[in-house]
Amino acid sequence: MANINIPYQSFCWVIGTTSFRTAKLNLKIEAQLLLLDEFYNEVIKKSSWNWNNELQEKYYDFMKSKAFLTGDAKRKDKDAREKTSGLVDIGLITEDRSITEAGRELLKITSSGIFETDNAFNINRDSFVYLKQLLKTSIDVSGKTVRPFIAVVKCLTELEFLSYEEFTYFVPLIRDDESAKQIISDIKLYREEQINLEEIIYKRLMQMDNYKLAREEFITSDVDENLICLIGMNRKSRNYDKPYYKLYQSLKNIFIDGKSDYELLLNSAKNINQKPGILWRNLIFKTTNIGVIRKNGKTSINNQCPFLNCANENDLKEVFFKYLHVFKAMATLSDYFDLNRRYFNITDTLIFGDRMVKLDMIPKYYFKEIIDVLYKETFSKDGNLSVDVPLETISRAFKLDMSKVYAALSKDLGITIKSPEQAATYVNDERYRRFNALIDKKFNDSVLVELLNCFEKRDDKRIEELVTDEAAIPTIFEYILGIIWYKVSERQGNILDFMKLSLEANLLPKTHATGGYADIIYEYEACTSYPKHSLLLEATLADGSNQRRMEMEPVSRHLGDYRIKFNNPFDYSLFVSTYLDKNVISDFRYRKIIPYTRDEESITGMKIISMDTDSLKKIIENKVKYKYLYEVFDKYHEMPLETVDWHDGMIREATGEYKA
């Protein structure tokens, strides 16, 4: 073996950095922009801005002082760089961490708290900024430029959807026009089971010079530990690949030399760490149970194990080289899946659900119209990454007459859409239908009761498993309360209008950095059980004295302002918490006689009902409906203030405990 060096080269793209994996990505991006802005203003008051190691350490301490992070990083400067590098990738800040014009636009939206849609894609204003940034974002993959978002859109317009497997293992291998055509073609064959996953990945790797060179070196040289470490091309250090030499020896012993130390083969496969080790063991063995392998020996080998077909060491080398690199690539690609998903998700144009990726409705028809022209930008760099530009500047494809999109939409769906207003109405109706389907599938009564138990115990991990990790727990509490009340109200009214929360394209909640108050305002039309009125649902996870300080004033103020604005004496509030402070119950009760004044307008007789999550669970379990609850709430509200145990009585009656 000559003194040769075969370098590792990236074979796929990823957005962001795996050293900063982040749930609640849009929240973290917004929070980082707010923090960087505040930190920048503090620094330049005293000196100039110089993003060196010293300033990076100070920024780390600043983030920590603002409770953005916890713990103690070994290297503060490195941690500060990692936590902001994703924002550099998508052009919201510069390499020296100054906020760009595009970042300022997002900061403006975040600070105003006004996220409502005002664009052709019918997505929130912040999501629209992310969409434009992702359309411009390009990655260098070993000297080739690719814009990942456009590559994904191209695949989705050609293939209708991508399975999570296809999104994970195939699409990030696109780095030029040739590979894009090949990947799309291979995905079609893969769906027809005419080609397997490993074959697709290996084919792409073998288009690269370093893999060709490594294979040639391996096939033509005597195998020793140094050769294995050389052709392994490990990203971090060659030494990490040493265990593969023992694996190679064990494979040769059994499949070429006819020996029978299957236990040694299993152990050498077990010495390969993490996902590649699992893949190797599954490739070779039917089971990894050592007792079964000792007993059954040869018959414990997987029937499809490719090494069974090796007639000589050259064959063995070919198969070993292939799976060495395919399994490493699969581990890398699966590692990148979560980051890519989260970054694409913040555009609110893609729906990730049921282990499938699809374009949401308007984006689907929009991109279908323009993809042929837009695709021409896929393998070029956009000089405007840091600038907030209109879509037309990103590509002339966006100089589009929207009537073409509406015509295609109308034709496919058998409806008539001619204006943005009609399109928005149809999209909202479709979202409402999808939301009802989501409730049926994901939030049956037993799941809602389990979630309420989790909120009481603050089992945040389980809450995120059941709902999403893209929203803060208080936001999820409001979202779940909205769903519960929708079911209690027998699904009347448009719950998506009533919930003032930001939702992702998959209709799960997300949290914004500025917080803002997200009332759920339920509107009821008059019927035989109650007059026309609005119910302001107020949710909090605060407890004890904290509850009094945090909730009493805002709840009263929200209802007071709402009553003054709409002048309906039947409007009232329902306050729900995991714990109820007795003084809070009492204070809310006395709002019945305390006047509320705003800008010289006054109202009296505010009705604020308090309930804890334990009562809510009983309402769910006993299938109590709102028509009944309204009458109970009203009956107890009208009782004299001095009525003893009025609240306990109201809860007993409301939860159906009086019913036989």
Percent above pLDDT 90 for the chain? 75
Mean of pLDDT over the chain: 92
Residue 660: inside a domain, yes or no?
A: no
Q: What is the pLDDT of residue 72?
A: 87
Phi, psi angle pair for 607, to nearest 5°: -110, 110
Q: What is the pLDDT of residue 617?
A: 97
One domain, residues 256 and 382: no
Query: Residue 522's Cα: distance from chain center in Å?
Result: 28
> Which of 82-96, 106-120, 324-338 shows the lowest per-residue confidence on average (mean pLDDT)?
106-120
At 77-88, the pLDDT tens digits run: 999 998 899 999
pLDDT exceeds cutoff 50 at 613: yes
SS (H, E, C) 80-100: HHHHHHHHHHCCCECCCCCEC
> Which of 43-47, 633-637, 655-659 shows the lowest per-residue confidence on average (mean pLDDT)?
655-659
Which residue(s) pair with 163 in the sheet? 356
State how many domains the chain has: 4
Contact 482, 520 (CB under 8 A): yes
Percent above pLDDT 70 for the chain? 96
One domain, residues 537 and 606: yes
If residue 576 lies in a helix (H) or strand (E), which one and from where to where?
A: strand 572-577
At 524-541, the pLDDT tens digits run: 999 999 999 999 999 888
Comparing C-alpha atoms, which of 192, 214, 209, 147 is closest to residue 174?
Answer: 147
Q: State the Cα–Cα distance between residues 253 and 570, nearest whole angstrom.
A: 84
At 3-51, the pLDDT tens digits run: 688 889 999 999 988 766 678 899 999 999 999 999 999 998 888 899 9
Q: Which of 304, 333, 362 is the last residue of a domain?
A: 333
Which two three-digit tokens encode residue 646?
């009025």
pLDDT exceeds cutoff 80 at 390: yes
Question: DSSP for 190-211?
Answer: HHTTSS-HHHHHHHHHTTSHHH
At 65-75, the pLDDT tens digits run: 999 988 888 99
Q: State the Cα–Cα distance between residues 405 and 183, nearest whole angstrom.
A: 27
One domain, residues 363 and 497: no
At 140-155, the pLDDT tens digits run: 999 999 999 999 999 9
Q: What is the pLDDT of residue 116?
A: 84
Which position has the higher pLDDT, 288 or 477?
477
At 442-460, the pLDDT tens digits run: 999 999 999 999 999 999 9
At 485-529, the pLDDT tens digits run: 999 999 999 999 898 888 999 999 998 887 655 579 999 999 999
Residue 298: inside a domain, yes or no?
A: yes
pLDDT exceeds cutoff 50 at 660: no
Q: State the Cα–Cα distance between residues 329 and 334, nearest whole angstrom.
A: 8
Averaged over 169-184, what is the pLDDT? 97
Q: What is the pLDDT of residue 550?
A: 58
Contact 547, 540 (CB under 8 A): yes
Residue 213: inside a domain, yes or no?
A: no
Q: What is the pLDDT of residue 546?
A: 60
**Neighbouring C-alpha atoms within 13 Å toward the C-beta of 564:** 16
One domain, residues 611 and 511: yes
Instruction: Give the pLDDT band (50/70/90) at residue 382.
Output: very high
The residue range of the domain holding 398 is 116-195+347-418
Contact 520, 576 (CB under 8 A): no
Q: State the Cα–Cα distance between residues 199 and 468, nearest whole angstrom.
A: 34
Q: State the Cα–Cα distance between residues 288 and 512, nearest whole angstrom.
A: 46
One domain, residues 44 and 25: yes
Q: Which of 333, 365, 380 is the last residue of a domain?
A: 333
Q: State the Cα–Cα distance between residues 187 and 92, nearest whole angstrom.
A: 34
Q: State the Cα–Cα distance between residues 300 and 163, nearest whole angstrom.
A: 32
Identity of residue 660: A
Angle at 414 (CA atoms; ends 412, 416), nearest 5 degrees: 105
| Rg over CA atoms, the chain | 30
**Neighbouring C-alpha atoms within 13 Å toward the C-beta of 319:** 22
Comparing C-alpha atoms, which of 535, 348, 658 is closest to residue 648?
Answer: 658
One domain, residues 146 and 98: no
Unique residue bearing structure tokens 């434009």: 132
Contacts (Cβ under 8 Å, ≥6 apart) of 167: 152, 337, 340, 341, 357
Q: State the Cα–Cα distance between residues 646 and 652, nearest whole angstrom.
A: 10
Q: What is the pLDDT of residue 514?
A: 73
Q: What is the pLDDT of residue 163?
A: 98
Residue 353: inside a domain, yes or no?
A: yes
Q: What is the pLDDT of residue 1?
A: 47
Contact 32, 193 (CB under 8 A): no
One domain, residues 373 and 394: yes
One domain, residues 400 and 495: no
Sheet with 356-359, strands from edge to edge, namely 162-163, 356-359, 350-353
Which residue(s) pair with 598 in the sheet? 601
Residue 309: inside a domain, yes or no?
A: yes
Contact 156, 404 (CB under 8 A): no
Comparing C-alpha atoms, which of 310, 331, 329, 332 is closest to residue 320?
Answer: 310
One domain, residues 507 and 641: yes
One domain, residues 374 and 324: no
**Neighbouring C-alpha atoms within 13 Å toward the C-beta of 434:** 16
Averaged over 252-275, what is the pLDDT? 91
Q: Which of 388, 418, 448 is the last residue of a domain?
A: 418
Q: What is the pLDDT of residue 516?
A: 53
Unique residue bearing structure tokens 């997505």: 123
Unique residue bearing structure tokens 């009782």: 639
Question: DSSP for 462-496?
Answer: HHHHHS-SSS-HHHHHHHHHHHHHHHHTTT-S-HH
Comparing C-alpha atoms, which of 337, 332, 142 is closest to residue 236?
Answer: 332
State in Å, rounded, how far the first CA of the chain is from the last one: 87
Cβ burial of 389 (10 Å; 0-12, 13-18, 19+) is middle
Residue 297: inside a domain, yes or no?
A: yes
Which CATH number characterizes residue 548's domain?
3.40.91.50
Residue 214: inside a domain, yes or no?
A: no
At 564-607, the pLDDT tens digits run: 999 999 999 999 999 888 888 999 999 999 999 988 899 988 99
One domain, residues 284 and 408: no
Length of the chain: 660
Q: State the Cα–Cα distance between residues 213 and 224, nearest whole angstrom.
A: 17
At 202-254, the pLDDT tens digits run: 999 999 999 999 999 999 999 999 999 999 998 888 888 999 999 999 999 99
Which two three-digit tokens encode residue 207?
């288009």
At 544-560, the pLDDT tens digits run: 556 555 566 788 999 99
SS3 content of the chain, % helix, strand, coil (to 5): 60, 10, 35
Residue 387: inside a domain, yes or no?
A: yes
At 102-125, the pLDDT tens digits run: 999 999 998 888 888 889 898 999
* Secondary structure of residue 303 in the 3-state scheme: coil
One domain, residues 592 and 495: yes
Contacts (Cβ under 8 Å, ≥6 apart) of 399: 392
Averaged over 400-409, what is the pLDDT? 90
